[in-house]
Amino acid sequence: MANNKSKKGPQGGRHHPREEKTPVESGRYTAPIPKNAQSSPVWMAVVLIGLIVLGMVAIVVNYIAHVLPASPSTWYLVGGVIAMAVGFLGLTNYK
């Protein structure tokens, strides 16, 4: 049987001490972003959510109720999808 005490090095943990790394400074000053510039206005969220809802309503009304002129039409579907896409892409940039 081998004797575990004859092995070299510590009995577990790190074999080498952790090196302390200091952050390298670039020498440039970056000003912090002001608190009021970090948030989007409330009306932006309302308009973008309204576009998503408007697109959904245009698609649903196109098929369910023949209220729209020339309904059902591909153009109502295209307009609804575009409105929802604009609303979704705008909300991805909302802060």
Q: Is the overall model pTM greater than 0.85, yes or no? A: no
Report d(CA 87, CA 79) in Å as an integer: 12
Please report, for the chain, the start and end positions of each structural domain, with discontinuous segments joined by +.
36-95
Is residue 87 within 8 A of residue 55, CB to CB? The reply is: yes
Is the pLDDT confidence value at 69 over 90? no
User: What is the percent of the chain with per-residue pLDDT over 90, rounded to a whole number?
Assistant: 33
The token pair at 51 is 């576009």
Mean pLDDT of 67-80: 82
pLDDT band at 8 (very low <50, low <70, confident <90, very high): low
Is residue 73 within 8 A of residue 82, CB to CB? The reply is: no
